Amino acid sequence: MTLSEQGPLSPYRILDLTDELGFLCGKTLGDLGADVIKVEPPGGDAARLIGPYLDGGRDPEKSLYWFAFNNNKRGITLDLEPPEGQALFKRLVAKADFVLETFRPGWLEAIGLGHDVIRAANPDTVLVSITPFGLTGPYSRYRATDIEVMAMSGCMSLTGDPDKPPLRVTFPQSYQWTGSYAAMAALVAHTQRRRTGRGEHVDVSAQACMLWGFSHAHTFWDLNRSVEKRAGSFMTGRTITGAKMRVFWPCKDGYLNFIIYGGEAGRKTNQALVEWMAEKGEAPAFLLEKDWRTFNIEQVTQEEIDVMEEPIAEFFTGVTKAEFFEAVTGRGMLGYPVSTAQEILADPQLKARDFWQEVEHPELNRSITYPGGFARFSEFPCRIRRRAPLIGEHNQEVYGEMGLDDGELARLSDQGVI
Amino acid sequence: MKALEGLKVVEAAAYAAGPVVGKHLVDQGATVVHVESRIRPDGFRTHYPPYKDNIHGLNRSGLFALCNSEKLGITLNLKKGPEALALAKRLVSWADVLVENFSPGTIGRLGLGYETLKEVNPRLIMLSSSNLGQTGPHAHHPGFGSQLSSLAGFTNLTGYRDGSPQILYGPYIDYIAVGYGVVAVLAALEYREATGRGQHIDLAQYETGLQYLAPLLLDYSLNGHIAERDGNRHREASPHGAFPCAGDDNWCVLSVASDEQWRALCQAMDRPDWGGRDEYATAERRQKRADELEARIGEWTRRFEARELVEKLQAAGVPSGVVNGMDQVYDDPQLVHRGQWNRMDHPEIGTMSYQRAPYTLSESDGGPDRRDPLLGEHNEYFYRELLGLSGEEYETLTQEGVID
């Protein structure tokens, strides 16, 4: 098979010892063709008990979280603590081009498999350590789940109503940010390895990855000592008067995201909206007469914004999400409905681009619709080639490739090593 | 030595989605050229606060500075006819990578579509980043990330139950696409090393965002279940949320994923008796009484300073963290330890805290080591020294306003 069929990373093997903080790293490299081997403790990874589940039951072989973030991986089990497990692990490392891990800093050292041991077993490998705060430093030993990362990165201070607690996104986000940015880091180190022939140790901090999630909000402090804060359904930071613009508007069947913007795109949008309102006889005279060419969003006052937003809010209450989507795409306006999973699955754009991918799950006697690749490459596919592994599904295959025979595998299994 | 030294990147790109791809490449040593024109500078210079001291100016934008550190800044007015087109093609033959985020179709209309450029440079890797992709019925729909984050489902999952969706500050999804964009470029480079062939990458910000929500898309297509926002609550862990601390609008978060952590929290609160109470004995029961429980925990947390409380909870084995404000991320001890911010002087901004990569490499250095460029600052250096224009050519193109 060639790279143009299998993807550019198909010559490389990756050992994936990550939990949910790093799942997307191996998955992303797998999308590009890498042979990713997910190494789970005997009995299966704890993250197999992250929901939602197929058919609702708490079954480690039916976690949709697992399905979604561990496809394009083969799966083996291995206990890293006993000497025999460690010996096997070192043999695996010797053949691995990348090793990905998310253990709490210090744990690998404690069991005798410190980063230096792993790198000594294969100096050419790129070792990627993914942790909430980094391998060293005052918070490196802190325990953190998604909400702690979202808090410590600063993200939460920008989300929520001013008179209520700061918010995270209800579905964890920091894990995916960290995993996908770790994939970037792994490939940067790999690019260097092509030149030097040597691997590197990559230290990825989830807290630092998440900093990009809120763009440039912190620069208001850096430049002008003003602090951006959570503002509920409003957008701040786009004016120098401090005026804030409404983002979310109740409509007939949910919410719309529409913002009074400035600039060329904003001018076109505001003009098109007023025309649409006028067609329905709902544009007040002052909006019809407004000269958008001279409208300067940076200088606008809160009073001006409030006056403009009132009739728009009234108008949107009579519009459905689908009508709004048709209007914005048809009229070249900025704005989108606040979509749910149902609407995303039905989106004609994604269908036309053949985004969704049917993946066979023979163990379930069915196929499942997955989001397809993250990009279109003109030279090679970026897609799901295999569903996520069952527990220990590829033990025989992977250990067999290393020369272990069935007898040895049975013995290791009896001893609980695999 | 930096990992990507020698890689040559041209950005015909503005705002975040294109230029921050270049930002991640330049941080690792690539030479990145940010192309603008005086008739249309990068929108982040002109339309997006903050400006230093709230005074508008092309070289006073904190957002532009953040996204473009260490790049070379040049100008090229593509509307100046055949000379401009010829110069653009010279840039492309110099480059390994071209990053563009015009709306789909635009770069083709300018005469610089991939089919044309691959004739100029067959080894070129061209990354086209767009809202909804280069093809499909909505390809030409203009959009900003702050709104695309709604189409892609993120804002529906953000907010209090029964309340309005909430914004994720800015163009949240753009920076998701940026991460994948860099991965895509590096994968294409790997392919080129092996085959000698360049290629075109169609990166739809929408499709990259959906990667982050994949389990919920499966949940709908398989179970018919539509995930909704529910504040800081967690489907299984409890308590799980943000709690007030001493002072004005200071908060911490904590999360309890096991009964052991629950008992540890009760010990830390000096309420070991709660650890034994039946109505709180399991996560399921704690969830049923979450309102009451959160209020009680809040009464306790508000007695402490946030960092002090987090130390205490972490020592007890309970995951917790400070809700850092935008003024606190610059002196967060952990981020400072990692050297996350690189403070450098800028002639109009003064001192600016430039951001470094979220990862470090054991044997390669990371930038940025230079501030962002003023508009057109590196015209002469780039066009003469790197691209190799003669003095005469450079003068003529400048006089004609091609280099404006």
Cα A315 to Cα A278, A279, B340: the distances in Å are 10, 12, 46
Q: Name A347's Cβ contacts closer than 8 Å, sequence gap at least 6.
A: A339, B151
| Block residue for tokens 């061209």 | B126
Alpha carbon of B197: minimum distance to chain A alpha carbons (Å) = 8
Instruction: With beta carbons under 8 A apart, name residues in chain A contacting B225.
Output: 52
Backbone angles phi, psi at B252, to 5 degrees: -125, 165
A 397-416 → B contacts, CB under 8 A: none
Peptide bond into A138 cis (omega under 30): no
CB atoms within 10 A of CB A261: 23
The candidate with the shortest Cα–Cα distance to B214, out of A356, A15, A224, is A356
Give the nearest partner residue to A353 out of B56, B136, B227, using CB atoms: B136
The candidate with the shortest Cα–Cα distance to B162, out of A244, A342, A164, A150, is A164
Q: Residue B139 is part of a domain; what is its CATH number?
A: 3.40.50.10540
A 179-218 → B contacts, CB under 8 A: 180-185, 187-192, 194, 196, 198, 200-205, 207-209, 211-218
Q: Is residue B327, in this structure, part of any structural domain at all?
A: no
A195 with A333, same domain: the answer is: no
Alpha carbon of A106: minimum distance to chain B alpha carbons (Å) = 16
Q: Does A1 have pLDDT greater than 70?
A: no
B175 with B85, same domain: the answer is: yes
Alpha carbon of A76: minimum distance to chain B alpha carbons (Å) = 22
B177 with B289, same domain: the answer is: no
**Are B191 and A261 an interchain contact pair (Cβ–Cβ within 8 Å)?**
no
Q: What pLDDT sits at residue A296? A: 85
DSSP code per residue over A232-254: TTEE-SS-SS---EE-EEEETTE
B275 with B357, same domain: the answer is: no
* Closest-approach residue (CA) in chain B for A352: B136
Q: Residue A156 is part of a domain; what is its CATH number?
A: 3.40.50.10540
Instruction: Show which of A310, A338, A366 is a domain's final residue.
Output: A338
Q: What's the length of chain B?
A: 404
B318 with B348, same domain: the answer is: no
Q: Is residue A99, in this structure, part of any structural domain at all?
A: yes
Q: Is residue A90, in this structure, part of any structural domain at all?
A: yes
CB atoms within 10 A of CB B388: 10
Class of residue B140 by CB neighbours under 10 A (exposed 0-12, middle 13-18, buried 19+): middle
B133 with B44, same domain: the answer is: yes
Mean pLDDT over the full length of chain A: 95
B253 to chain A, any CB pair closer than 8 A? The answer is yes
A152/A132 Cα distance (integer angstroms)? 10
Rounded to the nearest angstrom, the gap between the alpha carbon of residue A413 and the centroid of all alpha carbons in its chain is 35
Instruction: With beta carbons under 8 A apart, name residues in chain A contacting B149.
Output: 257
Strand partners, B199: B125
Q: Name B116's Cβ contacts closer than 8 Å, sequence gap at least 6.
A: none
A307 to chain B, any CB pair closer than 8 A? The answer is no
A70 to chain B, any CB pair closer than 8 A? The answer is no
Q: Name B222's Cβ contacts closer than 8 Å, sequence gap at least 6.
A: A54, A55, A64, A368
**Are A159 and B166 an interchain contact pair (Cβ–Cβ within 8 Å)?**
yes
The candidate with the shortest Cα–Cα distance to A51, out of A43, A62, A39, is A62
A97 with A136, same domain: the answer is: yes
Query: The tokens of B111 are what?
Result: 């005469």
B2/B13 Cα distance (integer angstroms)? 24
The list of chain B residues with pLDDT below 70 reads none
Domains of chain A: total:
2
Instruction: Show which of B322, B350, B377 is a domain's final residue.
Output: B322
Per DSSP, the three-state class of A277 is helix
A77 with A164, same domain: the answer is: yes
Backbone angles phi, psi at A102, to 5 degrees: -130, 25
**Are A334 and B50 an interchain contact pair (Cβ–Cβ within 8 Å)?**
no
Q: Is residue B336, in this structure, part of any structural domain at all?
A: no
Q: Is residue B205, in this structure, part of any structural domain at all?
A: yes
Rounded to the nearest angstrom, the gap between the alpha carbon of residue B323 and the centroid of all alpha carbons in its chain is 20
**Are A375 and B218 an interchain contact pair (Cβ–Cβ within 8 Å)?**
no
B222/B374 Cα distance (integer angstroms)? 52
A138 with A174, same domain: the answer is: yes
A321/A301 Cα distance (integer angstroms)? 29
Q: What pLDDT sits at residue A294? A: 87
Domain that holds residue B130: 8-212+342-399
Q: Is residue A59, in this structure, part of any structural domain at all?
A: yes
Peptide bond into B368 cis (omega under 30): yes
Query: The tokens of A384 are what?
Result: 């799901």
Query: The tokens of A407 are what?
Result: 């007898």
B252/A339 Cα distance (integer angstroms)? 30
Q: What's the length of chain A?
A: 418
**Are B152 and A171 an interchain contact pair (Cβ–Cβ within 8 Å)?**
no
Instruction: With beta carbons under 8 A apart, name residues in chain A contacting B187.
Output: 7-9, 32, 187, 377
A329 with A361, same domain: the answer is: no
Give the nearest partner residue to B175 out of A4, A185, A213, using CB atoms: A213
Per DSSP, the three-state class of A160 is coil
A104 with A174, same domain: the answer is: yes
Q: Checking DSSP bridges between strand B341-346 and strand A245-246, what pairing results, if any?
A: unpaired
A296 with A321, same domain: the answer is: yes
Q: Is residue A219, in this structure, part of any structural domain at all?
A: no
Helix, strand, coil percent values for chain B (each to nearest 5): 40, 15, 45
Tell me the average pLDDT across A232-242.
Answer: 84
The candidate with the shortest Cα–Cα distance to B208, out of B154, B137, B136, B168, is B154
* A392 dihedral zone (left: phi>0; alpha: psi -120 to 50; beta): left
Does an H or E element contain A98, and which? Answer: strand A98-101
Alpha carbon of A107: minimum distance to chain B alpha carbons (Å) = 15
A 282-301 → B contacts, CB under 8 A: 297-298
Class of residue A263 by CB neighbours under 10 A (exposed 0-12, middle 13-18, buried 19+): middle
A51 to chain B, any CB pair closer than 8 A? The answer is yes
B 146-165 → A contacts, CB under 8 A: 146-160, 163-165
Higher pLDDT, A237 or A200: A200
B95 with B176, same domain: the answer is: yes
Q: Name B395's Cβ contacts closer than 8 Å, sequence gap at least 6.
A: none
A137 with A183, same domain: the answer is: yes
- What sign does the CA torsion over B99, B103, B105, B108 have? negative
B160 with B303, same domain: the answer is: no
Q: Is residue A347, in this structure, part of any structural domain at all?
A: no
Contact A5, A156 (CB under 8 A): no
Of the residues B4, B9, B310, B334, the best mutation for testing chain A's interface (the one with the most A CB atoms within 10 Å of its CB) is B334
Rounded to the nearest angstrom, the gap between the alpha carbon of residue A38 and the centroid of all alpha carbons in its chain is 19
A368 with A285, same domain: the answer is: no
Alpha carbon of A77: minimum distance to chain B alpha carbons (Å) = 24
Q: pLDDT-based confidence at A148, cuts 50/70/90?
A: very high
Tell me the average pLDDT across A124-135.
Answer: 98
Q: What pLDDT sits at residue B200? A: 98
Instruction: With beta carbons under 8 A apart, name residues in chain A contacting B132.
Output: 349
Q: pLDDT-based confidence at A295, cuts 50/70/90?
A: confident
Does an H or E element contain A76, and which? Answer: strand A73-77
Q: pLDDT-based confidence at A56, cuts 50/70/90?
A: confident
Instruction: With beta carbons under 8 A apart, name residues in chain B contacting A298.
Output: 47, 49, 56
B256 to chain A, any CB pair closer than 8 A? The answer is no
A322 with A360, same domain: the answer is: no
B81/B83 Cα distance (integer angstroms)? 6
A138/B104 Cα distance (integer angstroms)? 46
Per DSSP, the three-state class of B48 is coil
Domains of chain B: total:
2
**On the CB side of B222, how many CA atoms lie within 13 Å of its CA?**
27
Q: Is residue B282, in this structure, part of any structural domain at all?
A: yes
Q: Is residue B333, in this structure, part of any structural domain at all?
A: no
Give the nearest partner residue to A191 out of B43, B52, B189, using CB atoms: B189
Class of residue B286 by CB neighbours under 10 A (exposed 0-12, middle 13-18, buried 19+): buried
Q: Name A83's Cβ contacts closer than 8 Å, sequence gap at least 6.
A: none
- What value does the CA radius of gyration of chain A take, rounded to a whole number of Å? 26
A180/A25 Cα distance (integer angstroms)? 5
A104 to chain B, any CB pair closer than 8 A? The answer is no
CB atoms within 10 A of CB B74: 25
Query: The tokens of B27 are what?
Result: 């941080």
Strand locations in A164-244 (E): 201-205, 234-235
Q: Residue A255 is part of a domain; what is its CATH number?
A: 3.30.1540.10
Query: The tokens of B383 are what?
Result: 């066009």
A45/A22 Cα distance (integer angstroms)? 13
Instruction: With beta carbons under 8 A apart, name residues in chain B contacting A164.
Output: 160
Q: Does A383 have pLDDT greater than 80?
A: yes
CB atoms within 10 A of CB B54: 15
- What sign does the CA torsion over A81, A85, A87, A89 have? negative
Q: Residue B274 is part of a domain; what is its CATH number?
A: 3.30.1540.10
| Block residue for tokens 């005026």 | A243
Per residue in B123-173, pLDDT (tens digit) is 999 999 999 999 999 999 988 999 999 999 999 999 999 899 999 999 999
B92 with B146, same domain: the answer is: yes
Strand partners, A277: none
Q: Is residue B129, in this structure, part of any structural domain at all?
A: yes
| Block residue for tokens 């402090």 | A221
Does an H or E element contain A312, and which? Answer: helix A302-316
Q: Is residue A192, in this structure, part of any structural domain at all?
A: yes
Give the nearest partner residue to B179 out of A56, A181, A349, using CB atoms: A181
Instruction: Show which of A314, A338, A362 is a domain's final residue.
Output: A338
Q: Is residue B337, in this structure, part of any structural domain at all?
A: no
A75 with A194, same domain: the answer is: yes
A137/A152 Cα distance (integer angstroms)? 14
Q: Does A221 have pLDDT greater than 90?
A: yes
B36 with B174, same domain: the answer is: yes
Of the residues A344, A356, A358, the best mutation for testing chain B's interface (the one with the most B CB atoms within 10 Å of its CB) is A344
Domain that holds residue A84: 3-212+353-414
Cα A281 to Cα A7, A278, B102, B212: the distances in Å are 55, 5, 35, 41
Give the nearest partner residue to B154 out of A136, A169, A372, using CB atoms: A169
A65 with A198, same domain: the answer is: yes
Strand partners, A76: A39
B160 with B17, same domain: the answer is: yes
Query: The tokens of B306 are what?
Result: 């946030």
